[in-house]
Chain A
Amino acid sequence: NAGVTQTPKFRILKIGQSMTLQCTQDMNHNYMYWYRQDPGMGLKLIYYSVGAGITDKGEVPNGYNVSRSTTEDFPLRLELAAPSQTSVYFCASSFPGGKETQYFGPGTRLLVL
């Protein structure tokens, strides 16, 4: 049981490039989330999904896209990377229920230059 896995661990992008951050969970959780964490800031929700085929925007969705074709996978797509997207990205998952604990992946550190 690997929990939540994220790839890559670290990536450098040039301005204007695109990339997909991968997230997979093996806990059969319906709910999945993408957060970003900037230095000195808390985690900000980018997008979330309550099940395959269902996604919704969080607090800071601009510049990102997501898809959820399976229960296990929740990739985050960055189109036209900008320096403001330099951050650490965390994927998380949880069972539905409103008050269930979220389980986090180890994070992807992204640097946009």
Chain B
Amino acid sequence: DQQVKQNSPSLSVQEGRISILNCDYTNSMFDYFLWYKKYPAEGPTFLISISSIKDKNEDGRFTVFLNKSAKHLSLHIVPSQPGDSAVYFCAASAPDSGSRLTFGEGTQLTVNP
């Protein structure tokens, strides 16, 4: 039972354009969502997060949007840069899960110069 799903295994965009990565979840108890970025041969690194009491969180070029009614979140990267090319994982946690996270499958983003 995949509670967090990233339906697009890959995404390719041109440098300078917007990248939109999507994530859907099924567990209505999830109240905190995170995005991690992973380069090859490295561990994931935290990128941005959002609490369920918000619908948007922004950090520089990165913005995460949360639509609780649709159980959907998205990560926007504007403008996209070649250095953003990586795998992006969506993750979620519930109040009763302590600090445990449930991860999506990941989306490989490629930003072309």
A42, B41: Cβ atoms under 8 Å?
Answer: no
CB of B64, distance to nearest CB on chain A (Å): 14
Number of interface residues of A (CB under 8 A): 28
A105, B43: Cβ atoms under 8 Å?
Answer: yes
| Proximity bits, A44-63, B CB within 8 Å = 1, else 0 | 11001010000000100000
The reply to whether the CB of B113 lies closer than 8 angstroms to some CB of chain A is: no
A104, B99: Cβ atoms under 8 Å?
Answer: no
B100, A48: Cβ atoms under 8 Å?
Answer: yes
Give the bracket for the number of chain B residues in contact with chain A: 20 to 34
> Which listed segment binds A: B12-20, B67-75, B77-85, B101-109?
B101-109
| Proximity bits, A87-113, B CB within 8 Å = 1, else 0 | 000101010111111111111000000
A to B CB contacts below 8 Å, 25 in the list? A31-B99, A40-B9, A40-B105, A41-B105, A42-B6, A42-B89, A42-B104, A43-B101, A48-B100, A50-B98, A90-B44, A94-B99, A98-B32, A98-B93, A98-B95, A98-B98, A98-B99, A99-B49, A99-B99, A100-B99, A101-B46, A102-B46, A104-B36, A105-B43, A107-B42
Chain B interface residues (CB < 8 Å from chain A): 4, 6, 9, 32, 34, 36, 41-46, 49, 51, 89, 93, 95, 98-101, 103-106
